[in-house]
């Protein structure tokens, strides 16, 4: 506790202030504390296990783990990686560099895609928002160099600085290539010019935050006309064969409608350079250590990170990412207690039941809409801890000892692409987990109407079977309520209990909900921290969820015998404890749909009378807002 800061003025710094003064952010991370501190602990634990597996001291029969260890060893094989250098990538770079026309590019489009060349569009198979039992093929524009299109605005002081940092990295990575100095300079110049064009076409992070607007089913014929002269139909035919989709879901309509302004005979030379440099940057992490380090310069600068993790940590991170479900099941079986799982599952059902009661008491919904909201709550599936079995994509992904890291990376990429292609004609597998057991996080999936709580988040301060019920409610309970509330945020509210985009609201009810959503935007808009201001519309979905998570758990608090609301709010502040690099916080303010941690701790409590009663907060205190400005949606 930071006694010099009154809790009535600043809950976050009162609870976390002393820790913030002494906490040290690791050199290879942009942040520590809260979620990140738990992740550091899980990482340290599993790194020790991976080292023991690699040395033969320890064994496991979890499917996929043997190949995860093979991949781990390949990342660690610095001698082979440095000896190979850029050589494994040269055939692909040569193909890109020799492209002379769009016709030649179209003739090789699917091959280049499968070999890992950077594409001027994104195409993949994903869940169909319109029919959650099926998959669909989606298409959208490419990514920009800078983290958001808003940063390209004229007069933005950080634009030139960030592009200069990128150019330094690009110049350094191009020096590994066989291109002459003059060719390297032209590749960079062309890439920046093509990127500037991309920035005028693709969505901003604020637009992406309204993810329901990604659902734009369009006949493939129409998309093909918009994307000409690129031959998207032949590309789809090569990938999907007789199952090539006759409809594409356009995630980024402007980018596709105006695609020919980005990709045409005049801009094609710019694209070739952009493709060359982006392919080199994307693939460098699988090559020599110097190339891998160089390719991360821009990312590290944006986040304020001093250096990459040590090679052993990189090896663990790579293997645990590719074989995420295998590692998650191993972690769950090895370290997660069934007693804790049972306790938290019971808490989830208690929160869902309380949520139903709150919906019944809701003042802005009519009875028909309430019934449908309660139906949605009743059908939420709970995924707690880790899955019973390892996902097939991990279990069947086999590597050999002879393959280099680069060769293994291409095999992994090819496997993932084929797996994604094969999904198009298969029904959605609702048993699939979006997060592995060793991840410190939680999520709601609107198209499956399920919530996932990996084993790794079920630790102090979020949860402990030895913590008080008040602390657990202020920790994991509020997080559970948060994820449930995503079913009723400004995006999730548009999906029904089966996960389909479907308007189950009356017109007047939804208008009332939208009015409350706007008030939530206003409550957060322009709130300032040291690194910048909050965009209230960008973060509104997460703030609705935080508000709902606090509301439902405070309701449960009232059912306890002699509830200690002080413990609740103190632990709520603890879970948001975070120390981060200023550059990283600035990056998050631009592109993250979550509000800054200190505001997530301090703003939601102010909306509830329990906060004022627990600590005697009055109008003279900084943690006070007038009653007519307090907001509760769910």
DSSP per position, 338-400: HHHHHHHHHHHHHHHHHHHHHHHH-SSS-HHHHHHHHHHHHT-EEEEE--SS--HHHHT----
What is residue 420's predicted lDDT score, i.e. its pLDDT?
Answer: 96
pLDDT tier at 3 (50, 70, 90 boundaries)?
confident
Nearest C-alpha neighbor of 238 from the set 135, 109, 115, 410: 109
What span, in angstroms and rounded, lies between the C-alpha atoms of 616 and 619? 10
Residue 509: pLDDT band with limits 50, 70, 90: very high
Paired with 122 in beta bridges are 140
Q: What are the tens digits of pLDDT across the range 183-206?
A: 999 999 999 999 999 999 999 999
Q: How far apart are CA 100 and CA 77, in angstroms?
A: 37
Band of pLDDT at residue 213, cut at 50, 70 and 90: very high
Per-residue confidence (pLDDT) for residue 103, from 0 to 100 = 97
> What's the CATH class of domain 114-285+297-305?
mainly alpha
**Phi, psi (5° rounding) for residue 381?**
-95, 140
Residues with Cβ < 8 Å from 400, sequence gap 6 or more?
70
Does the pTM surpass 0.85? The reply is yes
Closest residue by Cα to residue 379 from 242, 504, 487: 487
Topology agreement, domain 11-45+323-391+432-629 and domain 114-285+297-305: no
Q: Which residues, 6+ apart, have CB-to-CB distance to 611 below 8 Å?
A: 565, 569, 605, 617, 623
Count the residues in the chain: 634
**C-beta neighbour count of 35 within 10 angstroms:** 22
Burial 195-222 (b: 16+ CB within 10 A, else e): bebbbebbbbbbebbebeebbbebebee
Spatial distance between the Cα atoms of 475 and 578, rounded to a whole number of angstroms: 15
Alpha helix positions (H), 33-116: 34-55, 65-76, 78-84, 90-97, 102-107, 109-115
Active-site residues: which are they? 483, 546
Residues 593/539, Cβ–Cβ less than 8 Å: yes
The answer to whether residue 338 scores a pLDDT higher than 90 is: no
pLDDT band at 339 (very low <50, low <70, confident <90, very high): confident
Mean predicted lDDT score pLDDT of the chain: 96
Residue-range domain boundaries for the chain:
11-45+323-391+432-629, 114-285+297-305
**In this predicted structure, what is the pLDDT of residue 319?**
98
Question: Where does residue 64 fall: left (phi above 0), alpha (psi -120 to 50 degrees), or beta otherwise?
Answer: left
Give dist(CA 509, CA 518) in Å, integer: 14
With contact defined as beta carbons under 8 Å apart, do 169 and 191 qualify? no
Percent of the chain's residues with pLDDT above 70:
100
174, containing H or E segment = helix 157-174
Residue 2 has pLDDT above 90, yes or no: no
Q: What is the pLDDT of residues 223-257, one digit of tens each?
A: 999 999 999 999 999 999 999 999 999 999 999 99
In this model, does residue 276 exceed pLDDT 90?
A: yes
To which CATH superfamily is domain 11-45+323-391+432-629 assigned?
Collagenase (Catalytic Domain) (3.40.390.10)
Average pLDDT, integer, range 362-371: 95
Contact 552, 358 (CB under 8 A): yes
Q: What are phi and psi of 453, to 5 degrees?
A: -130, 95
Backbone angles phi, psi at 35, to 5 degrees: -55, -45
Q: What is the CA radius of gyration of the chain?
A: 25
pLDDT tens, position by position, 581-606? 999 999 999 999 999 999 999 999 99
Torsion from C-alpha of 29, 30, 34, 38, nearest 10 degrees? -10
Q: How does DSSP assign 275-308, residue by residue? A: HHHHHHHHHHTTS-HHHHHHHTHHHHHHHT--SP
Map 199-212 to HEC letters: HCCCCCHHHHHCHH
Alpha-carbon gap, residue 300 to 322, rounded angstroms = 22
DSSP string, 515-541: HHHHHHHHHHTT-EETTEE--TTTTHH
Give the lowest-confidence range in 2-6, 118-122, 580-584: 2-6
């Amino acid at each position: 506790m930071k006694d010099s800061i009154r809790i009535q003025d600043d809950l976050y710094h009162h609870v976390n202030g002393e820790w913030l003064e002494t906490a040290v952010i690791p050199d290879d991370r942009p942040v520590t504390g809260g979620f990140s501190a738990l992740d550091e602990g899980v990482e340290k634990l599993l790194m020790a296990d991976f080292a023991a597996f690699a040395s033969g001291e320890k064994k496991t029969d979890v499917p996929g783990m043997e190949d995860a260890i093979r991949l781990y060893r390949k990342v660690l094989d610095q001698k082979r990686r440095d000896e190979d250098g850029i050589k494994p990538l040269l055939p692909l770079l040569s193909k890109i560099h020799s492209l002379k026309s769009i016709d030649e590019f179209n003739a090789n489009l699917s091959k280049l895609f499968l070999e890992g060349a950077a594409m001027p569009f994104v195409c993949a198979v994903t869940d169909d928002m319109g029919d959650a039992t099926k998959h669909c093929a989606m298409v959208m524009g490419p990514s920009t160099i800078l983290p958001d299109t808003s940063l390209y605005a004229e007069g933005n002081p950080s634009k030139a600085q960030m592009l200069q940092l990128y150019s330094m990295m690009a110049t350094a990575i191009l020096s590994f290539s066989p291109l002459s100095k003059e060719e390297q300079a032209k590749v960079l110049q062309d890439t920046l010019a093509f990127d500037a064009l991309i920035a005028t076409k693709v969505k901003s992070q604020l637009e992406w935050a309204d993810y329901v607007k990604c659902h734009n089913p369009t006949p493939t014929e129409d998309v093909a006309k918009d994307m000409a002269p690129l031959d998207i139909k032949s590309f789809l035919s090569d990938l999907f064969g007789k199952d090539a989709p006759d409809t594409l879901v356009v995630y980024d309509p402007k980018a596709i409608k105006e695609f020919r302004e980005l990709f045409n005979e005049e801009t094609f030379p710019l694209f070739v350079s952009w493709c060359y440099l982006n392919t080199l940057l994307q693939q460098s992490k699988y090559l020599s250590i110097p190339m891998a380090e160089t390719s991360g310069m821009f990312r590290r600068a944006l986040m304020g990170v001093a250096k990459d993790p040590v090679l052993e940590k990189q090896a663990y991170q790579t293997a645990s990412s590719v074989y995420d479900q295998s590692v998650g099941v191993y972690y769950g079986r090895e370290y997660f207690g069934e007693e804790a799982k049972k306790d938290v599952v019971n808490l989830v059902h208690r929160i869902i039941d309380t949520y139903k009661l709150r919906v019944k008491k809701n003042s802005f919904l009519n009875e028909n809409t309430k019934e449908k909201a309660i139906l949605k709550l009743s059908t939420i599936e709970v995924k707690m801890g880790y899955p019973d079995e390892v996902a097939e994509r991990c279990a069947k992904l086999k590597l050999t000892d002879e393959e280099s890291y680069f060769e293994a990376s291409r095999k992994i990429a090819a496997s993932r692409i084929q797996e994604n292609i094969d999904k198009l004609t298969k029904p959605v597998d609702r048993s699939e987990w979006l997060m592995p057991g060793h991840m410190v996080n939680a999520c709601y999936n609107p198209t499956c109407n399920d919530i996932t709580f990996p084993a790794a988040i079920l630790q102090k301060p979020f949860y402990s079977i030895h913590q008080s019920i008040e602390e657990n409610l202020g920790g994991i309970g509020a997080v559970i309520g948060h994820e449930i509330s995503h079913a009723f945020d400004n995006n999730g509210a548009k999906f029904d209990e089966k996960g389909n985009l479907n308007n189950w609201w009356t017109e007047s009810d939804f208008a009332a909900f939208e009015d409350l959503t706007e008030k939530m935007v206003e409550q957060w808009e322009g709130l300032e921290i040291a690194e910048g201001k909050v965009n209230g519309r960008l973060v509104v979905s997460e703030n609705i969820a935080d508000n709902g998570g606090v509301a439902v758990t405070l309701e449960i608090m009232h059912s306890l015998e002699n509830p200690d609301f002080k413990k609740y709010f103190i632990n709520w502040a603890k879970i948001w404890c975070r120390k981060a690099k200023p550059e990283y916080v600035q990056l998050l303010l631009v592109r993250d749909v979550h509000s800054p941690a200190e505001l997530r701790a301090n703003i939601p409590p102010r909306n509830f009378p329990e906060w004022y009663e627990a600590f005697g907060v009055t109008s003279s205190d900084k943690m006070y807002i007038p009653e007519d400005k307090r907001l509760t949606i769910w």
